A and B are shown apart, each in its own frame.
Chain A
Amino acid sequence: MKARIKFQKYGAMKFIGHLDVMRYFQKAFRRAGYDIEYTQGFNPHQVMSFASPLGLGLTSDAEYVDIGLKSCEDPEIMVGSINEALPDDREHGKKESAMSLVSAADYLVSLKDGYEMELQGGIYGNGSMEGNFGERLYGSLEDYGILHDKFRRAFERFYSQPNIIINKKTKKNEMMVDIKPMICFTAFDETEYRKKLSGNLADFRRTESSGSYSVNAESKADVYENKIRVYMQLAAGSAVNLKPEQVMESFCAASGISYNPFAWQVHRLEIYTRDEETKKLIPLDRFL
């Protein structure tokens, strides 16, 4: 049988790459005493599959891994034993399910504290967007509220373009791609995000079946004092996939800000599949 596990990735774990996360879980399942299914042959390996690999440096509230089990216990016990096998206080929910196709993902991108100066070129000063923002702001950088508004206006302007063309590089070649259709929506605070999100979600009800157990975990997204952040829902999966880093790079270029990948903390909030009938989204942990 297959089981789906939802987990959070945060803190120093963001420096562990995807391949190592896989190895980490393989060992964790053994420590937890899961009756894992193995492939045949001299080099047996665990039957496991991750929904969507998370890049190095990113954090997340909603990572999913499907595993094969030969037998299983009560989900509550299994969640307890895997949490015990992971040293940090990470919380997990688990659901039984089949494999599914990832369709979209939500991200929260926040400016890390100490990087406010990075915005100066575009939002404050000499950059190309200056005229559109009206008067220059010579005030203190600590005035995050104003900075936050400026950032929001710049981002909205960026998003309101009819096309957002980026140069997408792959291993073999590079090509110009319009990423606008891959951005489902953006939001600038949690209320706005929840509101826009609910419009995109399918009408599902939490299934409290015997095969499901979940822990109500708090979001592990880092919170920064400057409050400069943007929520975005992006196309995800094997067919079309847009990384939040690509959006930010494009935004910075359009706003006259030099893009510094270290300035932005990307946090994944959820991963969705699409309901074939209604074309609406279902979070992977609610999909049976």
Chain B
Amino acid sequence: MRKLALSDEILLSVEKPARYIGGEVNMVVKNPKDVDIRFCICFPDVYEIGMSHLGIQIIYDILNRRDDTWCERVYSPWVDLDKLMRERDIPLFALESQEPVRNFDFLGFTLQYEMCYTNILQVLELSKIPVFAKDRTADDPIVIGGGPCTYNPEPIADFFDIFYIGEFESGYEEILDIYKECKKNGMTRREYLERVSQLEGIYVPSFYDVEYNDDGTIKSYRKNYDKAPDKVRKQIEMKLDEAYYPVKPLVPFVKVTQDRVVLEIQRGCIRGCRFCQAGMIYRPTRERDVEYLKKCAYEMLKSTGHEEISLSSLSSSDYSQLKELVYFLIDEFGSKGINISLPSLRIDAFSLDVMGKVQDIRKSSITFAPEAGTQRLRDVINKGLTEDSILNGAREAFQNGWNRVKLYFMMGLPEETDEDVEGIAVLADKIAGVYYEMPKERRQGKVNVVASTSFFVPKPFTPFQWCAMDTPEEYIRKQRLLKGSINRQPHGNCIKYSWHDAELSVLEGVFARGDRRLCNVIYDAYKAGCMYDSWSEYFDYGKWLDAFEKNGISISFYTCRERQEDEVFPWDIIDAGVSKPFLLREYRRAISGKTTPNCREMCFNCGAKQFGGGVCFIEREAVYEGKD
């Protein structure tokens, strides 16, 4: 039997001890003596969130395929255990071996959202690894970060030795091979970083010094190691159709957020919504082979015993083999008690047919994400969803028995006017109206429309990276405006409005486009007790404000300032494939309300073609000439 790092007494006094014992189905155990590299991968949030993440499962599987490497996992201890570990001086341990994380060769963090940054510091500190990279010695693991937040890693640059920019499948081998060689030859940490910085996709932040202008903007990035690259180009897996997929994912004991088989059907998105970072940084769109996916579905259900399978992609409806795949899943597994869940589907005849087969219509709702209330603003953000298609989709759903609709919007979008805000209420009302067009005998009770708004946060590598964000006061004013407007609608009593708080989005806005000067703010906020910031019960805005003040840093400099077109961005060091001229072109088209066709309709020369595959190379009727 495995020896656990924590005593019975501790495990029985914390919530959900299963978070800390490992031993899950499909866990990989190796003999430490048989491997050269010990890699610990961390999702800096609580176990149930981290275990639901597909990326970790992919990395875990890939790394453990190497005979010379043992990849283990660690997650943020929940606040109850965090306290006990500090009181009793217990070092943080990996789940598989239950050995201290500090003894590992690598500690890798996946960075999925900005509000996990303080939890990175928690994991480092509990592991007894120096929080700042500059203080680490030969006894500490190499701390490496990856994931979407690394497209602007600057606010956490001081805490990491290395950032890996891109998709893990394509570039991990050399990172490990070089490490092994360095370790064997007794080379120093610095020598390893120098060598690994020569690989594509690797960003060693300590090799660059930042100079600032008097107005606080960035003047330049100056290399302090000559051979460090001028630009770090993202790495992506171009053979996705046949790329390895983890068919034996870990199956946790406790119910986690994503308690199901997740089948990634494609990467990237053809749509080009201008607010969406994922739609830009994961370009070009690449599909997985449908026959391969069928095989994976079968094997994964067999190896996990899960009772549900879900398709994962940014826009499932755009997967060219969707019908074939979905009907296969229903025919093959529907009768065996397997639920099939289909997120991010456009509402049309096909999706309604499928949903009618796999869910209880009375209990489920249909979802639209118009993101903006008027057609004018939807054109600004290039959300190719028209009012007609929403109303027709809703009509068809109502006729098939649905009576619940969820609507997702963003507030604070560039060029937004009060008319656009009230347009949200008008659209929600029109949808409710469509329901009451039906004769009474066909209706299933009252219609229920839920409209929710989130606060728009401009992100790097999107056409809106130059934009100012609304102030929280303005956002709250718009919330009130909308609330009043909904109440005045004829069907206002059928519409429920829910909204996100502004404060968390403000911080997200700071870190999304922030620079290195924020590292100390994050450190001070953490030291003051900030942790689990994405959990509303632990989010303490006051402590954050103190940390900004202490460091003399203005929040509005990062959020509410419109950038000049030629401003040097903290993330300019990274080449995400989409070019700055393309993004600027898209920004200008946005201001003038011009839409841009999707990748299948026309190539707009965004830059992703350089990767040599995917949707960039399909046959099209029209070609963009480079003029607007």
Evaluate whether A16 and B360 lie within 8 angstroms (CB atoms) in the complex, with A87-B23, A87-B27 already known.
Answer: no
Which residues from A are CB-within-8-Å of B9? 262
The chain B residue sitting closest to A85, CB to CB, is B305
**Chain B residue with Cβ nearest A261:** B12
A145: interface (CB < 8 Å): no
Do A87 and B307 touch across chains, with their CB atoms under 8 A apart? no
Beta-carbon contacts of B4-25 to A below 8 Å, as 1s and 0s?
1001110111000110011111
Q: In the assembly, what is the distance between CA of A57 and CA of B11, in Å?
A: 9
**In the complex where A12-B1, A56-B12 touch, is A31 in contact with B21 (Cβ < 8 A)?**
no
Residue in chain A with minimal CB distance to B11:
A15
- Residues from chain B with a CB closer than 8 A to the CB of A41 are 360
Tell me which of B7, B24, B305, B363 has the highest count of chain A C-beta atoms within 10 A of its own C-beta: B305
A24–B253 touching, CB < 8 Å: yes
Report if B561 contacts A (CB, 8 A): no
Partner of B301, one of A11, A30, A43: A30
Across the two chains, which residue of chain A brings its CB closest to B27? A87
Residues of chain B lying within 8 A (CB to CB) of residue A26? 305, 307
A44 touches B (CB below 8 Å): yes
- Give chain A residues whose Cβ lies under 8 Å from the Cβ of B27: 87
In the complex the two chains form, is B12's CB within 8 Å of A57's CB? Answer: yes
Task: Decide if A36 is an interface residue (CB 8 Å cutoff).
Answer: yes
Q: Could you say which of B18, B304, B359 contacts A15, with CB atoms under 8 Å apart?
A: B18
Q: How many residues of B contact A (CB 8 A)?
A: 34
Q: A15-B11, A46-B337, A87-B25 are in contact. Are A23 and B302 (CB under 8 A)?
A: no
B255 touches A57 (CB 8 A): no
Check if A190 is an interface residue, CB within 8 A of chain B. no
List A contacts of B253 (CB < 8 A).
Answer: 16, 20, 23-24
Query: Which of B18, B22, B25, B363 is within 8 Å of A27, CB to CB?
Result: B25
A38 at interface by CB-CB < 8 Å: yes
User: B-facing mask of A26-40, CB < 8 A → 1, else 0?
Assistant: 111111000010100
- The digit string for B246-265, where 1 denotes a CB below 8 A from any CB of A, is 00000101110000000000
Whole-angstrom distance between the Cβ of A211 and the nearest chain B Cβ? 25
Q: How far is the CA of A16 from the CA of B12 in the complex (A)?
A: 11
Nearest 8 Cβ contacts at the A-B interface: A27-B305, A42-B360, A30-B305, A262-B9, A15-B17, A31-B305, A12-B21, A11-B1
Shortest CB–CB separation between residue A252 and chain B, in angstroms? Answer: 16
On chain B, the residues within 8 Å of A24 by CB distance are 253
Given contacts A57-B12, A85-B305, A87-B25, contact A23 B4 (CB under 8 A): no
B305 touches A20 (CB 8 A): no
Within 8 Å by CB of A88, from B23, B305, B360, lies: B23
A12-B1, A27-B306, A29-B305 are known contacts. Are A20 and B255 too (CB-CB below 8 A)?
A: yes
Interface: A2 (CB within 8 A)? no
Contact mask B342-374 → A, CB, 8 Å, 1/0?
000000000000000001100100000000000
- The answer to whether B8 touches A44, judged by C-beta atoms less than 8 angstroms apart, is no
Q: A26-B307, A44-B337, A87-B25 are in contact. Are A12 and B4 (CB under 8 A)?
A: yes
Cβ–Cβ < 8 Å partners of A43 in chain B = 339, 360
Tally of A-B residue pairs with Cβ under 8 A?
A: 76
Q: Does B312 count as interface, using CB distance less than 8 angstroms?
A: no
Which residue of B4, B12, B13, B254 is within 8 Å of A20 (Cβ)?
B254
Which residues in A have some Cβ–Cβ distance to B below 8 Å? 10-13, 15-17, 20, 23-24, 26-31, 36, 38, 41-46, 56-57, 85, 87-88, 112, 261-262, 265
Chain A proximity of B93: nearest CB distance (Å): 14
Identity of the chain B residue whose Cβ is nearest the Cβ of A38 in the assembled complex: B337
Residues in A whose Cβ lies below 8 Å from that of B303 = 31
Q: Which residue of B lies closest to A44 (CB)?
A: B337
Least distance between A74 CB and chain B CB atoms (Å):
21
Q: Is B627 an interface residue (CB 8 A)?
A: no
Q: Are B363 and A42 in contact (CB under 8 A)?
A: yes
For A45, the chain B residues whose CB sits under 8 A away are: 337
Least CB distance, B303 to chain A, in whole angstroms: 7
Contact pick for B8, options A13, A57, A88, CB 8 Å: A57
Give Cα A27–Cα B300 distance, bound, in whole angstroms: 12
How far does the Cβ of A284 sit from chain B's closest Cβ, in whole Å?
A: 24
| Chain A nearest CB, measured from B323 CB (Å) | 22
Would A27 and B1 count as touching, CB distance under 8 A?
A: no
B88 contacts A by Cβ under 8 Å: no
Report chain B residues within 8 Å CB of A46.
337
Q: Is B440 an interface residue (CB 8 A)?
A: no
A190 CA / B17 CA spacing, docked (Å): 32
B184 within 8 A of A: no
Instruction: Determine if A23 and B1 form an interchain contact, defined as CB atoms under 8 angstroms apart.
Output: no
Q: How many angstroms between the C-alpha atoms of A44 and B254 in the bound complex?
A: 20
Name the B residues within 8 Å of A56 (CB-CB). Answer: 12, 17
Q: How far is the CA of A261 from the CA of B10 in the complex (A)?
A: 12
| With A15-B18, A20-B18, A87-B23 as contacts: A31 and B302 at CB distance below 8 Å | yes
List 14 extra interface pairs beyond A23-B255, A44-B337, A57-B8, CB under 8 A.
A15-B21, A20-B253, A23-B253, A24-B253, A26-B307, A30-B306, A31-B305, A36-B337, A43-B360, A57-B12, A87-B23, A88-B23, A262-B12, A262-B13
Residue pairs across A and B with Cβ atoms less than 8 A apart, 15 shown, are A10-B1, A12-B2, A13-B23, A17-B18, A26-B307, A27-B304, A27-B306, A30-B305, A31-B304, A41-B360, A43-B339, A46-B337, A87-B25, A262-B7, A262-B9
Contacts of A16 in B (CB 8 A): 18, 253-254
Contact residues of B between 562 and 576, Cβ < 8 Å to A: none
Q: How far is the CB of B256 from chain A (nearest CB, A)?
A: 11
B307 touches A30 (CB 8 A): yes
Residues of A within 8 A of B337 (CB): 36, 38, 44-46
